[in-house]
Amino acid sequence: MGFHQAKNCLTVFLAVLPVLCRALTPPGCFGSDGNYYNPGDPMTSTNPCEVDCICKGPGEIECNKIGCEIPACENPITVEGSCCPVCQCEQDGVIYNPGDAMYSDNPCEASCFCGNDGQRVCAVMSCIPCENPIHIDGECCPRCICNESGQIYNIGDAMHSDNPCEASCFCGNDGQRVCAMMACLPCENPIHVDGECCPRCVCKQDEQIYNVGEIIDHDPCHPCQCQLDGTITCETIECPNITCRYRVHPKESCCPICQCMRKYKRYLPGQIVVNSTCKPQVCQPDGSIKVEPVTCPDLQLQCADPVVPQGKCCPECPNGNTCAYGKYIIRYGEEKVIGTKLCRCWGNPWFPNAFCTETKVSAMLLRYYGKYLAAYNP
């Protein structure tokens, strides 16, 4: 083969080579793990700064690149397997990575850790403001007390107060006295009294002073009253239409009132017209006269012989406690021979019928056992 022949062959070979290569190259990608991925398949990259990789075409891989912020510290480090450089914290010669828990000897700092900027980050306790703080070594917040002119109170302790308007005082969380303040009612004419919180309230009218509740009765048809707040309120009385024949208008009352007439004598409502002990007749507001019978108290009389004494309306026991055997009346504590029987009262406190037995033998029995009988209550 001559030189020209060889040259021609090489030219043809070189011209055919890309076509040949294309024909021999697969359409997908080979990953770093040695696996083959089809176009469009998601892939992972060995570079931690590349994410969301995809096989695009033959051997072509496309990824998103992570943009790192420049850390604030002087000597940032890049931790293996992560993309961006970070700062480390250093404390007492010990190196901490971001996120590591760190120690603090400040009692006000809690749950400290190494921050991304290489600085220690801690939760800082906040203390309640205090009037009289007492600092204690190793404690973040000062103890709080109340100090009232040298007198020391712990928080929650009851405290004395000279102010009559302060009630139930105690030492508050902030070292200051806390009291319930009395509320005074509003008053038109307050009168201050030493040692009392709320002023006394009175009403004033025409140079006159009236106490709360007092009736001011210059005009009987417009009675006025001193109110709690020191004001005076009045009402207007409207008189009812009265139809009675005899009437009178007393000076001190607003309205005319009825009178009762009996034997040419006039009576006011409530007055006794006929004075009968048990059935008095009384003048009524409408001018009529009515019997108002006396009602007897509902007493349990303890006798078998009640009577209504002369000049009285209600029954009484004239002989004290008594019981009866037939028509015979026996006093309590007494023994009475009735025919062949010996009788006495029994029952405690009272029984209306006597207990009787044949005399002789029974008289003796009764004398011995009488007290038990008397105590027996059926």
CB 325 within 8 A of CB 334: no
**C-beta of 76 vs 280, nearer to ligand NAG:** 280
**C-beta of 65 vs 312, nearer to ligand NAG:** 312
CB of 156 vs ligand NAG, minimal distance in Å: 17
**C-beta of 18 vs 150, nearer to ligand NAG:** 150
- Kindly list the residues in this chain that would bind ligand NAG in the complex (CB under 6 A): 132, 147, 149-150, 152, 240-241, 272, 275
What is the DSSP code (8-state) at residue 18?
H
**C-beta of 236 vs 241, nearer to ligand NAG:** 241
CB of 281 vs ligand NAG, minimal distance in Å: 11
**C-beta of 241 vs 310, nearer to ligand NAG:** 241
**C-beta of 49 vs 278, nearer to ligand NAG:** 278
Task: Kindly give, in sequence order, each residue whose CB lies less than 8 Å from that of residue 40, ignoring residues fewer than 6 positions away.
Answer: 54, 55
CB of 225 vs ligand NAG, minimal distance in Å: 24
**C-beta of 105 vs 238, nearer to ligand NAG:** 238
**C-beta of 51 vs 152, nearer to ligand NAG:** 152
Tell me how far apart the alpha carbons of residues 355 and 171 are, in angstroms, rounded to a whole number: 77
Q: Please, which contacts does 201-210 make with residues 24 or more away whose CB atoms are closer than 8 Å?
A: 201/228, 201/229, 201/230, 202/226, 202/230, 203/227, 203/230, 203/231, 203/232, 204/230, 205/232
What is the DSSP code (8-state) at residue 319?
T
CB of 307 vs ligand NAG, minimal distance in Å: 19
Token digits for 144? Answer: 């709080």
Q: Please, which contacts does 116-125 make with residues 24 or more away whose CB atoms are closer than 8 Å?
A: 116/71, 116/86, 116/87, 117/71, 117/72, 117/73, 117/87, 118/71, 118/72, 118/73, 118/87, 118/88, 118/89, 118/90, 119/89, 120/89, 120/91
CB of 334 vs ligand NAG, minimal distance in Å: 36
Token digits for 61? Answer: 């891989």
| DSSP letter for each residue of 324-355 | EETTEEEETT-EEEETTEEEE--TTTT-SB-E
**C-beta of 131 vs 214, nearer to ligand NAG:** 131
CB of 275 vs ligand NAG, minimal distance in Å: 4
CA 313 to chain centre: 57
**Around Cβ 50, how many Cβ atoms within 10 Å?**
17
Query: In which residue are the tokens 């007290």 written?
Result: 371
**C-beta of 168 vs 271, nearer to ligand NAG:** 271
Query: In which residue are the tokens 């001190």 written?
Result: 252
Token digits for 276? Answer: 């009968």
Three-state SS for 99?
Answer: coil
CB of 277 vs ligand NAG, minimal distance in Å: 7
CB of 117 vs ligand NAG, minimal distance in Å: 42
Token digits for 228? Answer: 């709690």
Tell me how far apart the alpha carbons of residues 179 and 98 are, in angstroms, rounded to a whole number: 51
CB of 267 vs ligand NAG, minimal distance in Å: 11
Phi, psi at 5, each rounded to 5°: -65, -45
CB of 168 vs ligand NAG, minimal distance in Å: 23
